[in-house]
Amino acid sequence: MKKQIWSTSACVVMLGLTQAADAADIQFRGFGSFVGGSTLSSDETLYGYEDTLNFRNDSLMALQMDAKLDAKLKATMQIIGRGEDGYEPVVEWAYMTYDFSDNFQVSAGRIRIPFYRYSDFIDVGYAYNWLGVPQTVYGFDFPGYDGLSGVYSSQFGSWDSSFQVIFGQFEGQTGDLDATMEDLKGFSWTLTRDWLTLRAGYVSSKATIDIPNIEQLIGAIEPIAAGTDVDFAALSSALQVDRDPGDFFGLAVGIDRNNILIDAEYIEYALDDSLIAETSAYYLAAGYRFGKWIPLLTYSRSKSDPPEDVVNTLPAAAPGEPMGVSILRQYIAGAVAATETEIKLMDVALRYDFHHSAAFKLAWTQEENMSGDKNQLLRFGVDLVF
């Protein structure tokens, strides 16, 4: 009797499986990185690393499920567990794709915002030669948006072109800050010809970001402003990132010819009517492929220009003005000046493809700030895809 029940349920299970296989062709793939690192001395910190060996910050494991419903319709979900979050799984991509033709596909769901050349596969360390992308350029980091993406692929002579348009919204966290982006729209255009890749991208939105430092500043100046006829609401709004128009623009060039590798990317972004500095950054990387070994040198620089026009929210300095107004102006000018930063980054990385699906990497990274303080980080790790 027991045996009978067992075989009945086995039949049910088998039928179920067969049906599932009929309904959709499901594939699982994934990638992972295991990275360890530490700074070179006790007074240095960089990207969350200190001078004790840390294996969590850059380690991750991800699983992607692709369900092909038919030749044109597909559903995709990517779950990433990051070491820094105790490998707690988070669904970072979840979208359905419909192929209108061989050249044109539309995806809907949660998708990565295509800010940078490496944005879309920034977590897939195996797909690039650095151990980590240069943070001077890639620091402006938002995870997936919710909305639509259309990709049009075509060929012009010997150029392959891929044009992506996005539209949607973002609600979540950038770094540790709560943020939203409304009216998020943008495009990215990649042209590839043999050994040359060119890319341009643009993203704009109305952004809101809760920044504790700005809230503290507003809290500090409120009592001062109260004693003057300064429009405090307008002043706070000029400091906060509250539905302010933001633009992001990027250009990239990649060369992979006769084992010589050259990569360059330039980006700039601005958030109007806020205390966020207008920032521009670039990197230049050069490497050489010696069979399975690739050494790669990177130099990068980022510069943030203080948003001077915030001060103009206050009335122009005039003799005999109330003291409160002068103090306010000093406060604001100080906060504006403090947003100026300039960071130089140097990175030396080595990749070794020890397996057809895995690479070992070693990297030394140094960031130097405006006052000449240097922080150096040594990292090693393994990236794999499966």
Partner 1 sequence: MKLFSALLILLFSVATYSEVVVIVHPSNNNSFAKDEIEALFMVKKSSFADGAKASAYYLSADDPVRHQFDEKILGKSSSQLKAYWSKLVFTGKGTPPPELGNSAEAIAKVAGDTSAIAYVDKAAVKDNVKVVFTLP
Residues that bind partner 1 (CB under 8 A): 29, 31, 62, 64, 66, 74, 76, 78, 93, 95, 97, 102, 107, 111-112, 120-121, 123-124, 126-128, 151, 155, 160, 162, 291-292, 353, 356-357, 359, 385
Taking the least distance from each CB to partner 1, the nearer of 127 and 264 is 127
Q: How far is the CB of 111 from partner 1 (least distance, A)?
A: 8
Q: How far is the CB of 186 from partner 1 (least distance, A)?
A: 15
Q: How far is the CB of 257 from partner 1 (least distance, A)?
A: 11
Angle at 149 between CA 143 and CA 163, to 5 degrees: 110
- Among 276, 212, 273, 279, CA closest to 243: 273
Taking the least distance from each CB to partner 1, the nearer of 6 and 100 is 100
Q: How far is the CB of 81 from partner 1 (least distance, A)?
A: 15
Taking the least distance from each CB to partner 1, the nearer of 64 and 339 is 64
Angle at 148 between CA 144 and CA 153, to 5 degrees: 105
Torsion angle, alpha carbons of 48, 52, 57, 60, to 10 = 170
CA distances from 207 to 157, 185, 376 (A): 40, 12, 33
Q: How far is the CB of 353 from partner 1 (least distance, A)?
A: 4
Taking the least distance from each CB to partner 1, the nearer of 46 and 261 is 261
Q: Could you tell me the end-to-end alpha-carbon distance of the chain, in angstroms, rounded to an integer?
A: 43
- Among 163, 143, 145, 166, CA closest to 155: 163
Taking the least distance from each CB to partner 1, the nearer of 97 and 302 is 97
Q: How far is the CB of 120 from partner 1 (least distance, A)?
A: 4
Q: How far apart are CA 192 and CA 195, in angstroms?
A: 8
Taking the least distance from each CB to partner 1, the nearer of 128 and 283 is 128
Determine contact, residues 44/376, Cβ cutoff 8 Å: yes
Determine contact, residues 161/197, Cβ cutoff 8 Å: no
Residues 6+ apart with CB under 8 A from 68: 24, 25, 26, 27, 74
Q: How far is the CB of 381 from partner 1 (least distance, A)?
A: 16
Taking the least distance from each CB to partner 1, the nearer of 190 and 205 is 190
